[in-house]
Structure 1
Amino acid sequence: MLEPGHTTFHGIVPGLSCSPMGKIQVDVLFGGRDNFRVENILFEVVDLDGPYHALLGRSALAEFIASTHVAYLKMKMLAPSEVLTVVGNYKISLETVLAGSCLAESLFIADEKRRIQMAVALAQSAQLGLTGMSNPLGATAFKPPKETKDIVLDPEYPECIVRISAGLSEK
C-alpha cells in the first residue's frame, strides 16, 4: 500500500539524511469513546532504527488544528465535546531522547571511522609514492603537469597565488 515518495529527511538523526521507502495514508485518532478527534494523515515511511514510531509534522498538526507546548509535553485540539488534551510522559520522553542520542552517536562514530580509514589509506598510498594509485572513492590521485608557473592573483597579497600549466597564458 506504499505509494512512491520523493522526500529526503534531514536532522532526524543528526548529521545524516534518509530517503523514505514510500508514503501511506493512515487514520490517526486522539481521545476516548466520548470525546475524540480523527484525521487521515499522510506518513512518510522510513527504514530507520530509531526511538520514534511516528513523527507528527506541521501538516499533521495543522490537520488537527493542534497547539503544542514542548516544555509541558502537552498537545491541545478541538474535539466535539470539549478541548482534547494529550499529555506526554516525562520518563518516556527522556528515555526516547537518550535512545535517539545513542543512535545518532553510534551512526556518527561509524561515519567518522569510515572517513578516517579513507584518509589513512590515501596517506599511506602517498607515503609509498604510489601517486597513480586510486583512492577508495575510485578517482585517481591528482598529478600536476611537469612544467608549471605561479601567478600572483593580487599584487597587494603576493602570497595568494595560483599554479597553472607553463603552456597557458596569464590571462
Structure 2
Amino acid sequence: MENILFEVVDLESPYHALLGRPALAKFMASTHTAYENMKILTPNSPITVVGNYKVSLETASAGSNLAESLVIAEEKRRIQTTVALAQSSHLNLVAMSSPIGGTAFKPSKETKDIMLDPAYPERTVRISAGLREA
C-alpha cells in the first residue's frame, strides 16, 4: 500500500486525476492516452483504469471553447488599450495643416523647399536647411 498526496479541484475536465511522472513511476503505471487507460501493477493482478471517450471529448470541446473566448477577450482588451494609447498620443502631437488635407509633423529645425522639376514648380521636397551640397 502506498499513500499519495493530491488536491481535488472543482473543474470540468476530461481528466479525473492528474498524476505527474513521479507518481506514475512510484506506482509503476503504464498509460495509453489514445485508448484512455492506465494499468498499475499489483502483486495479484494489474489494475486497469479506463476513461470514457465520449465524456472526454465533450469536456475537451467545452474547455476549448472557454479558452478561445478567453483569448478573444484578451485580444479585444489589448486592441482597446492600443487604440486608447494611439488616440492619446495623437492628441498630444503638434500638427499643422497639410496641403493634402491630413496632418503633418512640424519640423524641429529650419527647412527649405527644393523644386524637383522646373516644369512643375508645385512639386517640391522639404529638406533640412543645414544639409551641405554634395
Normalized against structure 1, the TM-score is what? 0.47
Counterpart Cα distance in 2 of 1:49 and 1:111 = 22
Larger helix percent: 2
* 2:87 counterpart (89, 114, 124): 124
- 1:75 is paired with a residue whose SS is strand
Aligned partners of 1:75 and 1:85 also within 8 Å: yes
Corresponding residue for residue 40 of structure 1: 3
Corresponding residue for residue 69 of structure 1: 32
Which residue identity is paired with 1:96?
T
Higher-Rg structure is 2
Corresponding residue for residue 60 of structure 1: 23
115 and 53 in structure 1: CA distance in 2 versus 1, 3 angstrom threshold: farther
78 and 107 in structure 1: CA distance in 2 versus 1, 3 angstrom threshold: same
Specify every segment of 5 or more residues in structure 1 that has no aligned partner in the other structure, as ranges. Answer: 1-37, 132-145, 148-171
Specify every segment of 5 or more residues in structure 2 that has no aligned partner in the other structure, as ranges. Answer: 95-107, 110-134
Corresponding residue for residue 110 of structure 1: 73
Where does structure 1 differ by over 3 angstroms across 4 or more consecutive aligned residues? 42-46
Which residue identity is paired with 1:75?
M
- Deviation at residue 67 of structure 1 after TM alignment: 0.5
Counterpart Cα distance in 2 of 1:61 and 1:75 = 10
- 1:138-165 per-residue CA deviation (whole Å, 9 max, x = no partner) reads xxxxxxxx89xxxxxxxxxxxxxxxxxx
- 1:68-106 per-residue CA deviation (whole Å, 9 max, x = no partner) reads 011111101112320111111110110121122112112
Normalized against structure 2, the TM-score is what? 0.58
Q: CA RMSD, aligned part only?
A: 2.8
Question: Alignment length, in residue pairs?
Answer: 95
Larger strand percent: 1
